[in-house]
Each structure stands twice: as C-alpha cells, then as structure tokens.
C-alpha cells in the first residue's frame, strides 16, 4: 500500500477516534495501528521506524502540534521559575535545574521533529508559532531582568543610606564622648544629643528592616510575575489545543518513504 494511502487512512481513523474517545487514547491506538497494523486489516504493518514516521505525519502533526508547543512553553516557564527561586532564595539544588534543562531540550527536540515533518503549506504557520514562542519567552526574561535591576538599584540606595546613618551615629557618639570630657556645663546639650542618637539608631534599625522587607517583596513579585506569565501562556495554548487543524495530509509528499 502506498505511503499516501496509509497516511490518509491513519488521518481518517484519527478523526473518527477523536470524535468518540479522548486524545490520549487516539494517540496510542493510532500508533499501534501504524506500527503493527490495524485489527481489521485496513492498515498493513509498517514497522516501528516507517510506521512511526507515518504516524507523526498523519496524526501527531495535524492534531497534536499545539500540545508540543504547549509543553515547550510549560518547560520554559518552569525552568525560569526554578532559576528565579534558586537565584533569590537558594533553596533549590542543582539537580532540579539540570532536570528542567534536559526536559526543555527534549521538548524542543520533539517540536523541531514535528516541524520538520509538517507539510510544506503550513510550515510558515508553524515557524510563526515558534517565533511567537521565542518572542514571549524573551518578553518574560526582559520583564524579570527589569524588575530585578529596579529592585537592586532601590536596595543599593537603601544600603547606602544605612551606611551613611551608621557613620553619622559613630561621629555623634564620638562627639558625645568629647562633650562629656569637657569641664563646661553642657549637660542639657549632652542630653539632647543622646536623644538624637537614640532617634537615629531607631531610624537606622527601621531602614534595615525595610531593606529586608523589600528583598522579601522582590522575591514574591518575581515569583508572581513568572506564575502570571505561565498562566497566560498556558491559557493561550489551551485554546489552540482545543481547536486541532482541519487540513488533510493527502497532499503531503512521500519523500520520507
């Protein structure tokens, strides 16, 4: 049986199964038919290599391409979230980061294979989807970088202010010691300066507490941003997954034979 006929049969049976069963069931059943043959004898045995390619072309590319794109988005978002948590809290080790990199590389490899097997006419559309994916990931990274830089600058200013307060307190303490050693009647002045020193000490402690709170708030804002971007991306591609392509693979070339 010609490769085109096999792909057409797989495509038609996949459409029928999708209307009656779930997506995962359709995916597994059509893979079995493509490799070992259909139970009714309509599709001959193709073998794992040849049948797998026909299955990708006739079933996965037309109906499951958005799934691959969605997993790429999911892997990238999880990877960014793990990197952000490790960067600002240090509670995550290297093993989850490496596993996330491996998973994202696998998803990208699957997406590349599907784009390679996609027919010539929709290839520009798939390329646009991949470009949109890269653009969205770049936007997420840009937003995270901008927030981190802004908070770092703010924290740096607070730390400089804290250092200035510490220097002023040291000089005021030295001045109080010198005034206490003078034989002049400056008790009232010394008392006023001591009150000022206490007020500055309280201000310095408040500034340090504010710096700690800003650091905690920055970590929360970063995690919230990544979660919002992940939810937006998944919502967008969930709508895409719900509407599979309607084009038939009958016009595909049989150069993979």
User: Cα–Cα distances in Å, from 81 out to 26, 148, 150, 237?
Assistant: 33, 14, 19, 19
Angle at 231 between CA 137 and CA 118, to 5 degrees: 55
Closest CA to 230 of 131, 143, 109, 152: 143
pTM of the full structure? 0.41
Lowest-pLDDT range, 1-10, 21-30, 103-112, 192-201? 1-10
Between residues 14 and 129, which one has the greater pLDDT? Answer: 14
> Residue 100: pLDDT band by 50, 70, 90 thresholds?
confident
Inter-residue contact 104 to 75 (CB < 8 Å): yes
DSSP state of 250: G
Residues 12 and 17: their CA atoms lie apart, in Å, by 9
Residues 48 and 37: their CA atoms lie apart, in Å, by 11
Q: Residues near 11 by Cβ (< 8 Å), separated by ≥ 6?
A: 58, 59, 62, 248, 249, 250
pLDDT tens digit sequence for 27-74: 788 777 777 776 665 677 777 777 777 888 778 887 877 787 888 888
pLDDT tens digit sequence for 103-114: 888 888 888 877
Mean pLDDT, range 160-172, rounded to an integer: 75
Q: What share of the chain is helix, strand, coil (3-state, %, to 5)?
A: 85, 0, 15
Other CB atoms within a 10 A radius of the CB of residue 68 amount to 22
- Helical spans, DSSP H, in 182-246: 187-241
Mean pLDDT across the chain: 72
Residues 29 and 119: their CA atoms lie apart, in Å, by 23
Residues 12 and 45: their CA atoms lie apart, in Å, by 17
Q: Does the structure show a pLDDT above 60 at 126?
A: no
39 three-class SS = coil
Helix or strand holding residue 28 (H, E): helix 23-36
Residues 78 and 234: their CA atoms lie apart, in Å, by 12
Determine the pLDDT at residue 180.
Answer: 67
């Amino acid at each position: 049986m010609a490769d085109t006929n096999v792909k057409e049969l797989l495509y038609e049976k996949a459409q029928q199964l999708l209307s009656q069963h779930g997506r995962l069931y359709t995916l597994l059943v059509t893979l079995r038919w493509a490799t070992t043959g259909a139970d009714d004898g309509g599709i001959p045995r193709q073998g794992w290599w040849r049948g797998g390619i026909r299955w990708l072309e006739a079933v996965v590319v037309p109906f499951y391409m958005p799934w691959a794109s969605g997993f790429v988005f999911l892997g990238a978002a999880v990877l960014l979230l793990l990197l952000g948590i490790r960067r600002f809290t240090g509670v995550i080790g290297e093993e989850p980061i490496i596993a996330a990199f491996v998973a994202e590389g696998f998803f990208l490899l699957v997406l590349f294979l599907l784009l390679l097997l996609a027919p010539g006419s929709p290839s520009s559309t798939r390329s646009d989807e991949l470009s949109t994916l890269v653009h969205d990931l770049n936007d997420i990274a840009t937003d995270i970088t901008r927030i981190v830089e802004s908070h770092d600058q703010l924290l740096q200013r607070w730390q400089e202010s804290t250092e200035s307060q510490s220097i002023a307190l040291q000089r005021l303490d030295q001045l109080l010691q010198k005034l206490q050693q003078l034989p002049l009647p400056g008790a009232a002045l010394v008392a006023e300066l001591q009150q000022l020193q206490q007020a500055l000490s309280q201000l310095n402690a408040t500034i340090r507490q504010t710096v700690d709170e800003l650091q905690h708030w920055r970590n929360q804002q970063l995690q919230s941003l990544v979660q919002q971007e992940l939810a937006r991306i998944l919502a967008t591609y969930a709508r895409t997954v719900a509407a599979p392509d309607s084009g038939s693979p009958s016009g595909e070339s049989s150069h993979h034979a």
